[in-house]
Amino acid sequence: MATLQEALAPKRTPLYHLHQARSGGNDHWQPLNGYAVKGALDDSKEANAARLTQCSLSDLSALARLGVRGQKAAGFLTQHGYHLPSAPNQALKQPDGSLVARLSASEYLLLGSLADAGQRIIQHESQWPSHQSGMYCLPRQDTHAWLALSGPHISAVMAKLCGVDMRPNVFAPGQVAQTSVARANAIVINAGGCFYLLVDTALACYFWSVMLDAMQEFDGQPWSVTALQQALES
């Protein structure tokens, strides 16, 4: 673990100041994909496994994500080995742990795997043209902050913020909702085990605070991305 000063890099997540303020010190920072991210105080497997059963919010903004859309987007992604959801507003987990969410008939959102912090997508983003005929990449890494809500009270927390029915029997793993959450446009994905929430990066600080506020009655706490990584792996 390093201090924030040691870990701080040119790339910064929209929320790192909030994490810094909350930690009260500069300990427990570590690099991830060129960003400084807050590490867990206790990264033991037992602690992380226990934490999965608690209401938690993680900042995954350091992980890779990319949008692709256009009439030829589906063919392009398939050609590059992605399995695509059959209908809009569905998400499909890829064998490597990354996720492809279909946001419309011709728009896709690629979310990097927690296991490798999205290396596959980082690689593709650097290799792919920003656009070509019928295929346009969208800079989701910079437009959208990425949070993960986990624990047993996910649907109860979301019910305080969003008018979409997100009970487990209705909003099943693989479902996607593009809706208003706490009056902010958001993409909500049931990733199985946790919900992914993607919101405008400029709204990230606002959104983080309203999420924690909604989680308060369930003893919800922030949880480091590295600990979530480990917990989901185990």
Which stretches of the chain bind other proteins, using CB under 8 A?
Answer: 10-14, 17, 35, 69-70, 130-131, 133, 136, 138-139, 141-144, 156, 159-163, 165, 167, 170, 182-184, 200-203, 205-207, 210, 213-214
Closer Cβ to other proteins, 172 or 202, answer by number: 202
Shortest spacing between CB 140 and other proteins, in angstroms: 8
Shortest spacing between CB 35 and other proteins, in angstroms: 8
Shortest spacing between CB 40 and other proteins, in angstroms: 23
Closer Cβ to other proteins, 120 or 144, answer by number: 144
Starting from the edge strand earliest in sequence, which strands make up the sheet with 135-138, in order? Answer: 90-93, 99-104, 107-111, 65-69, 135-138, 131-132
Shortest spacing between CB 103 and other proteins, in angstroms: 13
Shortest spacing between CB 226 and other proteins, in angstroms: 19
Closer Cβ to other proteins, 52 or 176, answer by number: 176
Closer Cβ to other proteins, 51 or 124, answer by number: 124
Closer Cβ to other proteins, 114 or 203, answer by number: 203
- CA neighbor of 26 nearest in space, from 10, 45, 6, 3: 3
